[in-house]
């Protein structure tokens, strides 16, 4: 049994893309995506710093198969910045599918970060767009907040969670993926490939039971608010 991990003010919980389109019945459904909502809510109570992300694409986005003539979802094509997997239209900005799942109760989140809003560049990662260059600003935000460790959860393990975790590592944060608080797309072996990359990058793969912070309600200055 690994040592437990005590959460403090220099930790952030990154809750990735818990949006309707990634839930069962959504445009790019992730199996069991809705089943992690209660766990993510409970985890968040242990963190003073929580950042939520939203995948947020304009109509005609480069990642949509519908933007490329006869292309089909889950095909990969070459674009200016490299390979791009194509998806069904999803998380169109302002649409109900792009909204956060209504069961999330994380009112104390300090930032909701949108990504993928550039029509010509996808962004799985919460830190940088798929060209590998264009920053979202999250690293600067976390550094200014004196954050040292990033704990990632949400959807999908093999895409936005993995890319965000890898980028957190490359930007110098100690990084953890809370496996049971994620769900995967797992198209064509993508989940195994993602874990392999994360292992090489020394992203730590943990379970939610390893996190043992006191509940937020027990801590100052968060003691008075409702959840």
- The catalytic residue positions are 17, 115, 160
Give me the least distance between CB of 29 and ligand VGL, in Å please: 11
Q: Which is nearer to ligand VGL, 30 or 147 (CB)?
A: 30
Give me the least distance between CB of 127 and ligand VGL, in Å please: 14
Residue of 160, 166, 194, 198 that binds ligand VGL (CB under 6 A): 160
Find out whether the peptide bond into 48 is cis, omega within 30 degrees of 0.
Answer: no
Closest CA to 2 of 184, 215, 207, 161: 207
Give me the least distance between CB of 26 and ligand VGL, in Å please: 11
The stretch near ligand VGL (CB under 6 A) out of 128-136, 154-162, 189-197, 198-206 is 154-162
Residue 108: exposure state from Cβ atoms within 10 A (0-12, 13-18, ≥19)? middle
Q: Secondary structure of the chain: what % helix, strand, coil (to 5)?
A: 25, 25, 50
Residue 65 phi, psi (nearest 5): -55, -35
Residues 38-67 that bind Zn ion (CB under 5 A): 55
How many residues would you count in the chain?
227
Under the binding rule (CB under 5 A), the answer on residue 21 touching Zn ion is no
Residue of 55, 89, 129, 167 that binds ligand VGL (CB under 6 A): 55
Residue 80: exposure state from Cβ atoms within 10 A (0-12, 13-18, ≥19)? exposed
Residues that bind ligand VGL in the complex, under the rule CB under 6 A? 17, 22, 55, 63, 87, 124, 155-156, 159-160
């Amino acid at each position: 049994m690994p040592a437990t991990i005590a959460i403090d003010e220099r930790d952030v919980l990154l809750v990735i893309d818990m949006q309707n389109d990634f839930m069962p019945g959504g445009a790019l459904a992730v199996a069991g995506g809705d089943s992690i909502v209660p766990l993510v809510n409970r985890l968040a109570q242990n963190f003073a710093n929580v950042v939520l992300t939203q995948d947020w694409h304009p109509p005609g986005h480069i990642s949509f198969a519908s933007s490329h003539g006869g292309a089909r979802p889950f095909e990969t094509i070459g674009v200016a910045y490299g390979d791009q997997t194509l998806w069904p239209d999803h998380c169109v900005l302002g649409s109900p599918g792009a909204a956060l799942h209504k069961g999330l109760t994380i009112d104390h989140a300090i930032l909701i970060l949108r990504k993928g809003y550039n029509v010509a560049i996808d962004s799985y990662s919460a830190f940088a767009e798929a060209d590998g260059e264009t920053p979202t600003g999250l690293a600067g935000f976390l550094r200014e907040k004196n954050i040292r460790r990033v704990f990632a959860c949400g959807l999908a393990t093999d895409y936005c969670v993995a890319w965000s975790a890898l980028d957190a590592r490359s930007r110098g944060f100690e990084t953890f993926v809370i496996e049971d608080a994620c769900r995967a797309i797992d198209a064509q072996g993508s989940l195994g490939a993602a874990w392999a990359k994360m292992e090489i990058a020394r992203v730590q793969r943990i379970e939610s039971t390893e996190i043992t912070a006191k509940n937020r309600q027990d801590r100052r200055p968060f003691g008075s608010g409702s959840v």
